[in-house]
Structure 1
Amino acid sequence: MSKIILQRLDDSFDRWDELLKLILASFAYMNDRIDPPSSALSLTPQSVKEKARSEIGYVALDDSQLAGCIFCRPEPSSLYIGKLAVLPAAQGKGIGKRLLELAETAARQRGLGVLRLETRIELTGNHATFARWGFRKTAENRHAGFDRTTSIEMCKALI
């Protein structure tokens, strides 16, 4: 039985190549399903490291293997959740939910009462998962240059 360990990304973390591979593997199912393509495809190990420095990041380790991650960015009235990723082989173990619980704690510590995220319009499975986790659709958005909805915003009020 494996043990999931959650760790804050800080200067002691040095597995940036692995973390990028985790994100890309977790988001691979979106390739050829969403337009425009995921911003994950433009990440590099260095940009992930910089993201961890400018945002709040956590990784989930399944024994010693990286299994998931989350990046959070404080906004004036919410904590934005970005790059929530769990390896396909590790899905269904509650890792995503545990990472979101860390985000809830980070939001509360900063006096923020809402978690906010965006998910692509085509990814209806994600919409359903986030709804089960307490998120509600709050807006429809479009990427620059598109005349159709490309993503939805979902928020979770923290009580």
Structure 2
Amino acid sequence: MTFGTPYQIAPDSPQIGAVLSLIRGSFAFMDGRIDPPSSMHRLTEKTVADHAARHEIWALGTPPLAVVFLTAKPGRLYLGKLAVDASMRGQGLARRLVTQAEVRARALGLPVVELETRVELVENHAAFARLGFVKTGESAHPGYDRPTSITMQKAIA
């Protein structure tokens, strides 16, 4: 099955609501599993549109079946909110969006793609490792005295 070329979501895109719904559905399994709760709960159509205006959101499929948020930071491109529709998992959509992040990092002159994943989500650690990411650190959300997130990076050749 083909899903076309990744495309960028504009701030005024009619797909903004579908992007938010996809993220909410894709991240729902984390409820009750991660502490603190996912920042996904703070997303609204306005915050999604704001991210598209200030940074980048890329998608596959119409309506979106997979999305990723990208944010240029000093020395790296931050990859966040990678979401794939549950019915489409295992078909390489996440890999295609990670590849798109690498393309964007190169275009922006950034040598690294970076992401954070929650400590509890060991299956995500393994999935990102298979995509070439390596653990580079741990951090704690404000108010926590233990690591709550793992930072992973992938060097861009």
3-state SS of paired residue (1:14): coil
State the partner residue of 2:10. 10
Which amino acid in the other structure matches residue 27 of structure 1?
A: F
**% identical equivalent positions:** 42
Which amino acid in the other structure matches residue 45 of structure 2?
A: P
State the partner residue of 1:147. 145
**Cα root mean square deviation, aligned:** 1.1
State the partner residue of 1:84. 82
Q: Which runs of 5+ in 2 are unaligned?
A: none
Offset of residue 83 of structure 1: 0.7
State the partner residue of 2:65. 67
Which amino acid in the other structure matches residue 126 of structure 1?
A: N
TM alignment of 1:1-159, pairs within 5 A: 2-5=1-4, 6-11=6-11, 13-61=13-61, 64-159=62-157
Separation in 1 of the partners of 2:73 and 2:63? 31
3-state SS of paired residue (2:19): helix
TM-score, normalising length: structure 2 = 0.96
Q: Which runs of 5+ in 1 are unaligned?
A: none
Separation in 1 of the partners of 2:137 and 2:68? 22
Separation in 1 of the partners of 2:63 and 2:107? 29
3-state SS of paired residue (2:64): strand
Offset of residue 18 of structure 1: 1.4
3-state SS of paired residue (1:32): coil
3-state SS of paired residue (1:79): strand
Moved over 2 A (4+): none
